[in-house]
Chains A and B, each alone.
Chain A
């Protein structure tokens, strides 16, 4: 199974600023994903980070607000831009494991807890 780390683990930011979250995987993976989990809520997929092409965003999320980079097969970043208190959430990255004889599953990082004041 993949081991995923995220930096920072938490941060407190002022409104109007931007924060870049890093996600590092210990093996090469094709697809990486970014999720948001608002306080007390479930997870919502933000976008799929594709290596060598632009990220694919889900409905309600746009590139200007959440730019994503995917420079190689083990690393991705998510930037939360021009933050407001409504952006206070846990941001998680995940990778898929869809080996031929395995169940489809995703491995999640520990998350980045963001508080915007």
Chain B
């Protein structure tokens, strides 16, 4: 499984856009990039998944450059309730999810 590197923590304010970049230099051809969100005292929740270019859903956008060696999760206009740990996972679409350390995003008023 490809190793991922993402910032340990990020601070933001309500209404701002938060961008979390994940590095995955050793990504394989059949690997997908998936992001999960975990609130305190809850299990992780799937946010978004992509293979290349850009993917957008009602929660976030995922930007993947052509070389796929990194990806950026974009959270538009965050609110206090977006305070959570965000995990970047890279691997084939199978059950072996490999969670790294994650990025703790703190949104302040």
A and B assemble together: yes
Binds A, one of B9-17, B63-71, B72-80, B99-107: B99-107
Say which residue of B41, B46, B99, B100 sits within 8 Å of A105 (CB atoms).
B46
In the complex, are the beta carbons of A103 and B46 less than 8 A apart?
A: yes
| Smallest CB separation, A41 vs chain B (Å) | 8
The reply on A19 being an interface residue by CB < 8 A is no
Q: Which residues of B contact A33 (CB under 8 A)?
A: 95
The reply on A13 being an interface residue by CB < 8 A is no
Expressed in whole angstroms, the Cα–Cα distance for A92 and B87 within the complex equals 16
The reply on A116 being an interface residue by CB < 8 A is no
| Count of residues in A whose CB is under 8 Å from the partner chain | 22
| Count of residues in B whose CB is under 8 Å from the partner chain | 20
Interface string of B20-56 (1 = CB under 8 A from A): 0000000000001010000001111110010000000
The reply on A94 being an interface residue by CB < 8 A is yes
In the complex, are the beta carbons of A110 and B99 less than 8 A apart?
A: no
Say which residue of B34, B94, B99 sits within 8 Å of A42 (CB atoms).
B99
Give the B-binding residues of A (Cβ under 8 A).
4, 31, 33, 42-45, 48, 92, 94, 96, 98, 103-111, 113
A-B contact pairs, 6 of them (CB 8 A): A31-B95, A43-B99, A45-B98, A92-B43, A103-B49, A111-B42
Give the A-binding residues of B (Cβ under 8 A).
32, 34, 41-46, 49, 87, 93-102
